[in-house]
Structure 1
Amino acid sequence: MDGRAWMLGWALAVSASASAQETDLSLTAAAADRFAALALKCARQEYPNKLDHVMNGAGEVQSPKVLHPAFYGCFDWHSSVHGHWMLVRLLRTHPDMAKAAEIRAVLDENLAPERIAVEVAYLDQPNRRSFERTYGWAWLLKLAAELKTWDAPEARRWSAALQPLADRIAAAYRDFLPKQTYPIRTGVHPNSAFGLDLALDYAKAAPDPRLEVAILERAQTWFGRDRRGPLAWEPGGEDFLSPCLEEAALMARLLPGNRFGPWLDAFLPGLPGTLVPAVVSDRTDPKIVHLDGLNLSRARALYDLARTFGPRDPRRSALVRAADRHARASLPHLASGSYEGEHWLATFALRMLEARGTGINR
């Protein structure tokens, strides 16, 4: 059986179980291998490719791999970056997984110092200030944080190779945040709350106290006085993030419990209310399939919010039930047979499943 047939068979099998509400919502060894297979399938796949590339001259009409030798696969730069994060995370948590050797080979190849040097040089060229700001920046810092907090010889080697790029992006973030007067409250890539959440992991792991202070200040300035978030307006037709839930999940990390509870009550009264999973009508459409990502990221945020309530608080169980509904709506469709979703959804699924394990067991 070839790889595509195997992945489609898995999708059909999981989909059948989902119809009976039996989808496993834990990160099993088998699930880890399946997630890794999706990332590995595109880690070295150069095309199709959607470049975010401002050309400064005719000499910059180059292929994706020439421009971005570390992160040229998985359709676009940011998806390649978070695919590498997922591979690192899975190797760290499942060191004996079947695909461990293949993962190591990809990481050795793509996180080589000479390839990272080209990525740094790209950012240093004119007209690159907004390249992948802030979604790609945040995922690169998340990858760097994962490597920094993993005490293993191979992780230290990859971390050292990646560090010049992490330094470059952390500096760009520190420079940019004070200038961003208003947050971006969108359900797609530029969402400010989502970017701050990932960047905060790096600021703590590096450590980078100046970045951490900048994140805390912007989050409080942007979101500290928010009231009655328009959750009923969500989702938009191509969202893969919930603006309201991403903001709430970020503030749950930043505010002490005695302040977060009142803030959440004022911002999202009655949560989760009647929140229902998004309907994905066409998984071959690159924008509509975003809604699978929305279901997975909503679930992750809801699990994070559930963790802020005590085990006997009815709001905790209500949030977990809502999150489970969202997870089961899209988890069976990661390997749909369409590259539009296959190149990125597993990363969102992994974060969601890990949040579930933390959110309902503590």
Structure 2
Amino acid sequence: MSYALRPLLFALDAERAHALTLKALAVRARLPFPAVRHDRRLATRIGALTFANPLGVAAGLDKDGVAIEGLFGLGFGAVEIGTLTPVPQAGNPRPRLFRLVADRAVVNRMGFNNGGLEAGLARAKGARRGTGRLGINVGANKDATDRIADYVAGVSAAAPIADYVTINISSPNTPGLRDLQHGAALAELLAACTEARGDTPLFLKIAPDLDAGAIDGIVRAAIGQRIDAIVMGNTTISRPPLRSPHAAETGGLSGAPLAALARQRLADVRSASGGGIALVAAGGIDSGAEAYARIRAGAAFVQLYSALIYAGPGLARRILVDLAACLARDGFARVEDAVAA
């Protein structure tokens, strides 16, 4: 079905097609579908938080939490909604989302467009999760005078509803946001959010465009403030060789061309942390083999988004089947045994 509909969706503006896809997923959740059955070998955990499998939906796909149940129905172990900001905002002017079909990639400059915390959290609270885990990704409004206060507001509001909360300081599309990844600003942010989260696990999402020195500083700060996991990473402002007409568009690049950079930065974070903090891998994951490679490199969990645009809604189940086959081939009884192996 996904391959039959793809030409129709690709004939539409990318953002309109995205909205229609979310509506379809929301409708799907109300239809009678077989329950998702999870392979016990794929169960994993981050601290005390358990997951039925190590594959999740990255933030950005369902910013406002309109299709949570439909996404869980595809087989994901976790769905992360957002980024949600305290006040609704329209984001950057359109067009702001571009398919790079020849590269199986996407460029976006969305700018944290969302309907705000109140509306997003209301949907999240009412969504059925089954065995899935719900992450809520929070950020600051573009015109906020105190961005750390925005993050504290987001964490405080989301923590009672979420299975985990992610602080997103890695988007390239809100001017100055990535400055929070460094020095005193990072320390102040993490201290404030740690206090606000209560007992809810707190993740920190960082960019793949960081150098080794910046990664070392982030890892030390995250461990010092008892952050539960680092999500590496988000889109990149760098540009590897690309073939698509939209390659020169301003914004963050995601999808297949990001894989090599994301893989290297994951290894850098693992090296800097020495296993002292759990890692979540994102960026260019589009197959069971790639998910397995990130797990072997140190990720306890992996996320995807752009690959769904090109491979369709059956991708999650295919990746999980292939991941189980990789474990069996290499003699691992559980996916947890393969982490950083």
Would you say same fold, with TM above 0.5?
Answer: no
Which has the larger helix fraction?
A: 1
> Which is richer in strand?
2
- Taking structure 2 as the reference length, the TM-score comes to 0.30
